[in-house]
Structure 1
Amino acid sequence: MKLSLSWLKDHLDTEATSTEIAAKLNAIGLEVEGMENPAEALAGFRVAKVLTAQRHPDADKLQVLSVDLGDGQPLQVVCGAPNARAGLVGVLGTPGAVVPSNGMEMRKAAIRGVESNGMMCSSRELDLGDDHDGIIELPADAPIGTEFATFADLDDPVFDLSITPNRPDCMGVYGIARDLAAAGLGTLKPVADAVHAGSYPCPVEIRSDDREGCPAFFGRVIKGVTNGESPAWMQARLKSAGQRPISALVDITNYVMLTYGRPSHAYDIAKLAGAIVARRAKPGEGVTALNEKHYLLDDSMTVIADDNGVHDIAGIMGGEHSGCGADTTDVLLEVAYFDPERIAHTGRALTLTSDARSRFERGVDTDFLGTGLEILTGLILDICGGEASEAVHVGAPPAGGKVVRYEPALAETLGGVSVREDEQKRILAALGFEIAEVEDHWAVTVPSWRPDVDGAPDIVEEVIRIHGLDDVPSVALPRAEGVAKPTATPLQSRERRVRRAAAARGLHEAITWSFLPMAEAEAFADEPLWVLANPISEDMKAMRPSLIPGLLMAAQRNMARGASSVRLFELGRRYLRGKGGASDERLTLGVVLAGERTPRSWQQGKAQGFDAFDAKAEVMALLEAAGAPVGNLMVMNEAGAQYHPGQSATLRLGPKNVLARFGTLHPAVAKQFDIDGPVVVAEIDLEAIPAKKGAATFTRASYTPPSLQAVSRDFAFLVPADLPAGDLVRVVKGADKKRIVDARLFDVFTGQGVPEGQKSLAIEVTMQPIEATFTDADLKAVSDAVTAAAAKQGATLRG
């Protein structure tokens, strides 16, 4: 939010400089993002009088002027403005000045052979308006030689503040002045308390048929107004806030909003038909807003309408066809209270932002409707003239007057600084809080303009920030003697190991949003999603049930920009529904491999893509780094509908504990994410990995190399064609746990010599002697154990 120093001083009686005010604003939590003075951009531009004006000898449209700057030494200036003439008082840019509109530096120059010592300026060149048909004409009595910024009262610093969402009271200049007064930087001036009784009943019926969306609708009619330009002082205020002056009626509503944080609207009565009503929009209704865009509405949105249809997207933006123009003579004023959640929902659904929306969705002052209407009425009558009707008050805003139990000692307990009770009372009273002492505590009544204050900690925050955050002492945390113990939990240690392992394997870490569009989230949801009631936008509405969608969108963006191979991983939380519908956040590792596994080359020809076995290799390596017992893992059925049938699996410890899912992405899902070619993905549930028994930290067993050479034997089994090879390898490895240290599949064969409906699996079994070399009897015993274990899976030795 922007405001000028003079605007602030309209409401704050202070002698503080702009620098002091900026420092105090930062100190009380109202961050100053920038401060600029328009006068600085106009340095070198002075009030000057044209003494003589003669035609340029070599150009019909140019004149050679003799210009007086009040020092008795006239300057020669070449000028092409049609209104340049002897006796005119205007603005001269002297050599060294920089033109604000284009950044050009003034210097002496010869124009068509005639020396020119500066430039007579137009309003556009000085960024003071759009007029460029001629040079600025000042009053004849303007002091010659004076700095133009000083003469035009442009020496007025502008503050650019970043207002946090919890401070709707500071979305107006008056609220900022109140905070500064409480901080001891001046005295707050009271709000004008004028009441305009009205000389006739309001001729337009006003009502609210949507008391949830619009609990209160105050309004009145003013007849006989003249909608010309707003006063120069008001235009200056609006320009300092970054607003473009439009017309008196529009400027007045904007001025009241920026001054008091109270949005309002003025309708041209000539463009209305029948009663003006706050109601729900009807499905299919639409309105063309003041930004000249057409919006389709639904019945979740509150609108202001008449008998002919919608005129206003309530609390966000008015309609184009009922706005006030130069020919407006009679107006209807609207000062209403709209439900913040309804406004936020409507704005997100329509992707429509406005100054009014930013205030209504944060929460405007519920007790300022009547006063706001009177202030608005008074300004219109003073500037535009006319005659006001009686005010109409339909409904009532939500009741304020929240009372909070507060103990003064909490300022030191929670805030870390001791503040005297009388000082706390002064601060709270200056901020608008009312205090009643009740036995051992205070009953603090929260003012209507502070919807963010809910409890005692909020009161502490108000006291401490006004007293001075810089006065809170820095206190070091106590530290135990000796060597500090590790602070990372086992899960945090596991997370660090897995992150390092993934990076070491050539994967690039990505950080994606925890929120997803509904369609992308539903593609990976196996249960109802968690949907935000107040999302940042419609595209960030669902809490992610999986890390894969965010990684897929990141992969698509990279591939769309020319990346031939994408290898991404992310460590983060996914949000599921636990027992009884409670939230269950799971620390998860997601992996996406897309594009080319190996690059194209003249040696290999066509590039190779990733397949499900690449995903399995990554999962196994990362699980081992996480400390999972990879030797005991079971490869089981399909990973889910998001995966390509027959090209995915899960890794489990037992039938129910799923540690990981991996495989090739289903082509339909890949198409939904706009990715061409096969994509393989994997997801590891790091919280499903069992902790090491008897140890709080991950440690590797000490390495003791065997003293005897290992022995390997190959076995070929005939098994049913649908038997997973991993099941057979697992039972073979467990046939003799003392002697067998490893078993691996090295061949799969079907065809000649293998019965139909079966396949041949060749497994290499590695045995390790410990105390003595294996005898033939030992090897036969192991072979018999392997054959017996395989037989339980329906496997027979191949002859």
Structure 2
Amino acid sequence: MKFSESWLRTFVDPACVGDEFAHLLTMAGLEVEQEETVAPFFDRVVVGQVLAVDKHPGADRLSVCRVDVGSGEALQIVCGAPNVVAGIKVPCALPGAELPGGFRIAVSKVRSVESFGMLCSAKELAIADDAAGLLVLAADAVVGDDIRAHLDLDDRLLTLKLTPNRADCLSLEGLAREVSALTGTPARFTEVDDVEVTIAAARAVVLDAPDACPRYCGRVIAGVNARAVTPAWMRRRLERSGIRPISALVDITNYVMLELGQPLHAFDNTRLQGAIHARMARPAEKILLLNEQTLELQADVLVIADDHLPLAMAGVMGGEDSGITLATTDVFLEAAFFSPPAIAGRARRYCFVSDASHRFERGVDFGGTRRALERATRLLIDICGGQAGPVSEALARLPDRPPVRLRPARVARVLGLAFTTERIGEIFSRLHLPFGRDGDDFIVTPPTYRFDIEIEEDLIEEIARLHGYENIPAPAPRALMSMLPQTEEARPLPRARQMLVDCGYQEVVNFAFVDESWEADFSANDQPIRLANPIASQMSVMRSTLIGGLIANVATNLKRRQIRVRVFETGRCFVRDPLGGPVAGFRQPWRLTALAYGSALPEQWGNLARNVDFFDVKGDLEMLLAPLTARFETALHPALHPGRSARLLVDGRAIGFVGELHPQWQQKYDLPLAPVLFELDLDAVLVASLPHYAEVSRQPPVIRDVAIVVDHELELQKLVDGMTANRPAIVRHISLFDVYAGRGVEAGKKSLAFRIMMQDTQKTLLEVEVDAAMQQLTAYLQDAFAAQLRV
């Protein structure tokens, strides 16, 4: 809601100004999102009247003007504007004036003719983009007056970020009512009298959908002049409220909407046939709207129609076929109340919004419908002429306004502050909330313009707002607290996060709502959990994996030339599960996902540059899980490279995957390199095994190496598992340190070299014991895997 502060002050003029006024509104729940002035700084610009215009002797496109600026002596000013003529009043910058942009006016010669100032266009004053000619002022402008005061250019424009429940503040009168309550300053509301009926012309109104449209008022106004000029004061107020003036008839309806909060619509009465109907759309019915968009209406869309055709989407936008033009002479003026559920979401369904739908779907004052019609009629006749017919009104059951009980004891409990009954009554009176008393309790009947007051807590909120949120004490909470147990078998989540940070990763937080294509690409999920009301089309489903968000983070960083990225995220995923969870039919597991992209190390001179690979991330993963030992098994994952990915198992339980991004998705998401990532069940990361005592040997270890040749397809993990399970007692550790395939090794084979560390806690190992252990291991490898010793 954008409005002019000077317009608001014609209704209520509190003592607070500037930032103090904006702070007052914000602290009352009407957040001031933006403040701006109508015009930037400039000075010494006054109202001037052109007395005479002569041709410049040295230039065809220049004129020499004599201008009265109220100083008693006319100034000679050279001007190149095409619309300069004798008699008009225009802004005149005097010598020494400073215009927007730091441009200073001085006495100068223009083609040998002295010029003592400058006649200004709206663009030169930075109040409009029109630079086609001088800004022509009203004929009643007083010569010599400061132009800032004449055009009210020191006015401030405020934009409010209203919450959906405060539809009553979508008008100047509503804001004035609120400011009056906040400051105690009396408000002056627009006086509206019934317009005299001078013709009998009328059009019947029928409510075919009374639940959706319980009140409809309309009247015929004949003999109007659609070409009448909108008054400058009305144009100015509309423009400063963010609405572009169009024509007098349209401008009047927009003005009343801003002033009183009631959207109106004007039809060309000569293009209507029969009665006016408020009904639901018929099957496959179409309408051409004023925005030149043709819509096929669904059955739940409310329309305003005559006996033959739909005329408008009710509460949203009028139709082109019945719209007013500059040739219109007879108008049918509409003011109605449409039920918010009947309007909500209809405009967004067809991918547009309107000022009318924004108000109707939040709730419009159904008690002021006829008052707004009378106000618009009076303005229309005063500006465009014409004669008014009687008001045709159809009325069904309007919304109930059930009284709400407020208990002062409940107020004290919720706000932590006791209010006297006198203070509560004063607040309700300032808010114009009618109330009665039942003992100490207040029985409040919400006004017709307050759709947000339904329960006791709504009234408590009103008391808090008027008292001032900043005036409610916020003492520190007091409670008995005891330290919760923390066993060594559990790892705190902050510790797991810090371990990844220590490895160079940065934590991110992404939306749980994702693009449907992400689910298909990274989870092979063709039946994602869809949102009933997504906040955006690309955020329409719930994620079942965190991978998509991290890929998007990498893409965003690459666009900003950040070519080395390490990110991780912990968060909930959402999957269908018949066994259910907190929500029936759905499970919400916690996951931890990390991704590395770009070079393995930051750019430096001490190491050769290389890109991060599977084993770099595998090392980070093993560090994160330690002291748990993970097994890696070849497995397929829809997001990962089929030959460079693995499943993780801890104690036989699958806890996640690690691998490179699939080349198909690397290409689709425009990534020059393949990221390496892992995704784990978070509960597996938060488990830590208790340490076990083991005697430290004082005896020297014996280290032997063995190289074997095996089939190329044999998995290393099977070898390591077998050797570990069948190792002699003195063998403490087995590790792979070399892999070779090529010259000297048979095709289809590979050479694996292992380092065997042997040690006894009680004595030094003898050579015969070491040889026996090595023979036992090599015999096992030959029998179990057909391995051949490489010499």
TM-score range, shorter chain: 0.7 to 0.9
2:687 pairs with 688, 691, 695, which one? 691
C-alpha deviation, 1:516, in angstroms: 1.6
Contact 1:202 1:221 in 2 (8 A): yes
Instruction: Quote the residue 1:619 is aligned against.
Output: 621
What is the aligned partner in structure 2 of residue 48 from structure 1?
48
Give the distance between the partners of 2:731 and 2:27, measured in 1 at CA.
Answer: 71
Residue in 2 aligned with 1:418?
418
Residue 265 (str. 1) matches residue 268 (str. 2): no
1:155-554 aligned at under 5 Å gives the runs 156-189=155-188, 194=193, 203=203, 214-216=212-214, 218-224=216-222, 225-227=224-226, 228-270=228-270, 278-280=279-281, 287=288, 289-290=290-291, 294=293, 299=298, 302=301, 304=303, 312=312, 315-320=315-320, 322-336=322-336, 345-365=345-365, 367-384=367-384, 385-388=386-389, 390-393=391-394, 399-438=399-438, 441-453=441-453, 455-478=455-478, 494-525=492-523, 526=525, 528-554=527-553
Distance (whole Å) between structure 2 residues aligned to residue 147 and residue 489 of structure 1: 78
SS at match of 1:459: helix
Match of 2:80 in 1: 80
* d(CA) in 1 for partners of 2:462, 2:134: 53
Q: Helix, strand or coil: the match of 1:188? A: coil
1:634 equivalent to 2:631? Answer yes
Contact 1:215 1:396 in 2 (8 A): no
Q: Could you tell me whether the CA contact under 8 Å between 1:344 and 1:534 is conserved in 2? A: no
Change in 2 beyond 3 A, CA 1:509/1:16: closer
Separation in structure 2 between the aligned mates of residue 460 and residue 242 of structure 1, nearest angstrom: 34
The alignment partner of 2:470 has SS state of: helix
> For 1:12, what is the secondary structure of its paired residue?
coil
Deviation of 1:467 after TM superposition, in Å, equals 1.0
Question: Aligned-pair distance for 1:549?
Answer: 1.1
Which residue of structure 1 lines up, in the alignment, with residue 735 of structure 2? 744
Distance 1:267 1:788 in 2: 98
Shift of 1:790: 8.0
Match of 2:720 among 705, 714, 729: 729
1:231 is displaced (CA, Å) by 2.8
Letter in 2 for 1:683: E
SS of residue in 2 equivalent to 1:97: strand
What SS is found at the alignment partner of 1:115?
strand
Q: How far off is 1:84 after superposition? A: 4.8
> How many Å separate the matches in 1 of 2:446 and 2:412?
21
Distance 2:762 2:311 in 1: 93
Letter in 2 for 1:635: F
**Is the aligned partner of 1:5 residue 2:5?**
yes
- Looking at structure 1, the residues matched to 192 and 490 of structure 2 have their Cα atoms a distance apart, in angstroms, of 61
Aligned letter for 1:222?
A: V
- Secondary structure of the residue aligned to 1:94 is strand
**TM-score, normalised by the number of residues in structure 2:** 0.81
Q: Cα distance, 1:729 vs. partner? A: 2.4
State the partner residue of 2:592. 589
Displacement after TM superposition at 1:466 (Å): 0.9
Conservation of the 8 A alpha-carbon contact between 2:433 and 2:444: yes
> What is residue 697 of structure 1 aligned with on the other side?
none
Q: Residue type of the partner of 1:659?
A: I
Structure 2 residue identity aligned to 1:106: I
Equivalent in the alignment of 1:661: 657
Question: 1:431 is matched by which residue type in structure 2?
Answer: L
Change (3 A) 1:288 1:705: farther
**Does the CA contact (< 8 Å) of 2:288 and 2:321 recur in 1?**
no
Taking a change above 3 Å as real, the CA distance of residues 595 and 13 of structure 1, as seen in their structure-2 partners, is closer
User: What is the identity, as a one-letter code, of the residue corresponding to 1:148?
Assistant: I
CA 1:781/1:34 → structure 2, altered by over 3 Å: closer, same or farther? same
Q: Any idea what SS the aligned residue of 1:537 has?
A: coil
Distance (Å, rounded) in 2 between the aligned partners of 1:124 and 1:67: 20
CA distance in 1, matches of 2:257, 2:780: 82
What residue identity is the alignment partner of 1:114? V
- Distance, in Å, in 2 between the alignment partners of 1:85 and 1:233 is 24
Summarize deviations over 1:648-704 as a string: whole Å, max 9, x none.
Answer: 32213345x44322223334444543446644432123233353468xxxxx99999
Structure 1 Cα separation of the partners of residues 74 and 461 of structure 2: 62
In 2: Cα distance, 1:265 partner to 1:690 partner:
63
**How many residue pairs are counted as aligned between the two chains?**
775
Q: What corresponds to 1:114 in structure 2? A: 113
Alpha carbons 1:594, 1:679 under 8 Å: kept: yes
- In structure 2, relative to structure 1, the CA distance for the partners of 1:511 and 1:169 (3 Å cut) is same
**Distance in 1 between the 2:485 and 2:171 partners?**
46
CA contact (8 A) 1:634 1:727 kept: no
Q: Is the 8 A contact 2:173 2:189 kept in 1?
A: no
Which stretch shifts more, 308-317 or 661-670? 308-317
Structure 2 counterpart of 1:94, which letter?
A: L
Structure 1 residue 44, shift from structure 2 partner: 1.9
Deviation at 1:752?
A: 12
Residue identity in the other structure for 2:166:
R
Residues 1:621 and 1:58: Cα distance change in structure 2 (over 3 Å): same
* 1:49-108 CA-partner distances (Å, limit 9, x unpaired): 4455544332344343443433335433222346656665543212343446x7643333
- TM-score, structure 1 length as denominator? 0.81
| Partner of residue 764 from structure 2, selected from 773, 784, 798 | 773
Mean alpha-carbon deviation: is it higher for 236-245 or for 732-741? 732-741
Q: Using the alignment, how far apart are the partners of 2:713 and 2:309 within structure 1? A: 67
1:95 and 2:91 are equivalent in the alignment: no
Q: Counterpart amino acid of 2:623?
A: A
1:76 counterpart SS class: strand
Q: Which amino acid aligns with 1:556?
A: A
Percent same amino acid among aligned pairs? Answer: 32
Tell me the SS of whatever aligns to 1:538: coil
Shift of 1:424: 1.5
Any conservation in 2 of the 1:262–1:364 contact (CA below 8 Å)?
yes
Moved more, 340-349 or 726-735: 340-349
Q: Which amino acid aligns with 1:161?
A: L
Q: Quote the offset at 1:760 in angstroms.
A: 7.5
For 1:387, give the aligned amino acid. Answer: A
- Local SS of the residue matching 2:183: coil
Most deviating of 609-618 and 196-205:
196-205
Question: Compared with structure 1, are the counterparts of its residues 105 and 369 closer, same or farther at alpha carbon in structure 2 (3 Å cutoff)?
Answer: same
Q: How far is 1:463 from its partner?
A: 0.8
Partners of 1:265 and 1:422 lie apart in 2 by: 44
Amino acid at match of 1:726: Q
More displaced 10-residue stretch of structure 1: 607-616 or 159-168: 607-616
Is contact 2:488-2:688 (8 Å) kept? Answer: no
Name the counterpart of 1:649: 646
SS of the residue 1:401 aligns to: coil
Distance in 1 between the 2:229 and 2:770 partners?
A: 104
Q: Is the 8 A contact 1:527 1:577 kept in 2?
A: no
Which whole-Å deviations, capped at 9, do the CAs of 1:563-587 have from their partners, x for residues lacking one?
6655443344433456426265444
Q: Please give the per-residue CA displacement for 1:588-622, whole angstroms capped at 9, x wherever unaligned.
A: 33233456769999xx99x9766554543443333
1:687 counterpart letter in structure 2? D
Partner-residue secondary structure (3-state), 1:428: helix
Contact 2:488/2:689 (<8 A) preserved: no
Structure 1: stretches of 5+ with no match in the other structure: 695-699
Q: Whole-Å Cα distance in 1 between the matches of residues 341 and 765 of structure 2?
A: 78
Q: Is the 8 A contact 1:220 1:388 kept in 2?
A: no
The code of the aligned residue for 2:635 comes to E
Query: Does the 8 A contact of 2:50 with 2:88 survive in 1?
Result: yes
Amino acid at match of 1:169: D
